[in-house]
Amino acid sequence: MADRAVVAAALRAAGCVFAEEEAALLLDAADSPAALAALVARRVAGLPLEQVLGWAGFCGLRISVDPGVFVPRRRTELLVAQAVALARPGAVVVDLCCGSGAVGAALAAAVGAIELHAADVDPVAVRCARRNVAGAVHEGDLYAALPEALLGRVDVLVVNAPYVPTGSIRLLPPEARLHEPRATLDGGADGLAVGRRVVASAPRWLAPGGALLIETSTEQAARTAAAFTRSGLVPRVVDSAEPAATVVVGTRS
């Protein structure tokens, strides 16, 4: 098996910032020199580490991540933490734009017995989420994916919709820009195209006192909160410095 320093040097030369840590993970994942060489080659070619390994660390869990599926980010752990504070055992929870299902899986692990539904428009993501989520995973465009029986019953609605403005896609790291579906990143001209659709229809699905939580950016937080207010939700903005993250929480009164 190759030496860790040799693997780290190859990764560093390819621009991997955390080369030593990644080398250790790749060495642990490989069961032969040939397997290790294949893993290193994929990472050097720019594939996200999580897609090379087949999993991402998120809220203390190992979340399966397939090629072509959005990789859960550490900043999204703020979204989970805010949702955990609102959810109770037995709550009806929906993870919309679920991707790998990381947010829903982390919520279920933290809260315990909940009625969990996850949904995504991408069939590749849906297949991946079904391995991670102990609950129903639906395929379709936003609320169209959900069973009508959930109307007016959702206690916690968590959403990590795409919010990068179209013009800023080119500034993203190559791992995201080249290896994750554009639809999971591109939020339209101002980054809020999908978010506005989510907020506009949320009150129909929320139970009285239910909450909608959306990850966004610091720059977009005020406009996102204004959209909540227009839909009749009472918003508050939650910021985190480390990691840098912003969540808007809106309650149906």
Q: Is residue 225 helix, strand or coil?
A: helix
Domains of the chain, CATH where assigned: 4-64 (no CATH), 74-252 (3.40.50.150)
The pLDDT value given to residue 99:
96
Distance CA 194, CA 218 (A): 17
- Using CB atoms within 10 Å of the CB of residue 119, give its burial: 0 to 12 exposed, 13 to 18 middle, 19+ buried: buried
- pLDDT of 181-200, one tens digit each? 999 999 999 999 999 999 99
DSSP class of 111: H
Residues of the chain with pLDDT under 50: none
Q: Where do we find the tokens 């900043």?
A: 75
Smallest CA-to-CA distance from 95 within 180, 205, 200, 179 is with 205
pLDDT at 2: 65
What local confidence, expressed as pLDDT, does residue 46 receive? 86
pLDDT score at 243: 87
Measuring CA to CA, how many Å separate 1 from each of 16, 177, 209, 231, 237?
Answer: 21, 32, 57, 58, 49
Tens digit of each residue's pLDDT (9 = 90 or more) over 153-192? 999 999 999 999 999 999 998 888 988 999 999 999 999 9
Give the pLDDT confidence score for residue 179 in this predicted structure.
Answer: 87
Whether the pTM exceeds 0.85: the reply is: yes
pLDDT number for residue 1 = 52
Q: What is the pLDDT of residue 234?
A: 97
Return the sign of the alpha-carbon dihedral for residues 212, 214, 220, 221: positive
